[in-house]
Amino acid sequence: MSDCLFCKIVSGEIPATKVYEDETVLAFRDIAPQAPVHVLVIPKVHIPSAAAITQENSAVVAHCFEVIAQIAAAEGLDNGFRVVSNCGPHAGQTVSHLHFHVLGGRQLALEMA
């Protein structure tokens, strides 16, 4: 997707502070962190949102969660963390490339909505 912000981060066209990268998954620090640790974990392939996960592309989503566990350990989130994926307008998704927010480093509010 040529006009996708996160595809541009994957290609290197837009810089990001990377914390993890392999052939299929990239993780980088959110530009506007909402917690002491706020990392975005994305598949390198363009998947628009959680609503577009299928049997064909779900292996990379599983891999995202393996990476999330590694990042949480590396960032010292031993007291816990939250994984969030906003999907569509009602959830406030602002970047249409599947991403998992990993938030931690302080006590997080209990509200889900």
Q: How far apart are CA 108 and CA 34, in angstroms?
A: 10
Mask: binding to ligand 5GP, 28-67, rule CB under 6 A, as x and -?
Answer: xxxxx-------x---------------------------
97 binds Zn ion (CB under 5 A): yes
Both tokens of 19, joined, read 């914390």
Which of 12, 80, 89, 92 touches ligand 5GP (CB under 6 A)? 92
Q: Are 25 and 44 in contact (CB under 8 A)?
A: yes
Both tokens of 90, joined, read 């009602």
38 in active site: no
113 binds ligand 5GP (CB under 6 A): no
Q: How far apart are CA 57 and CA 23, in angstroms?
A: 15
Number of residues that bind ligand 5GP (CB under 6 A): 14
Q: How far is the CB of 60 from ligand 5GP (least distance, A)?
A: 18
Both tokens of 43, joined, read 């598949």
Q: Closest Cα partner for 18 from 34, 31, 29?
A: 29
Q: How far is the CB of 46 from Zn ion (least distance, A)?
A: 4
Question: Which residues in the 45-74 window bind Zn ion by CB under 5 A?
Answer: 46
**Would you name the residues annotated as active-site residues?**
99
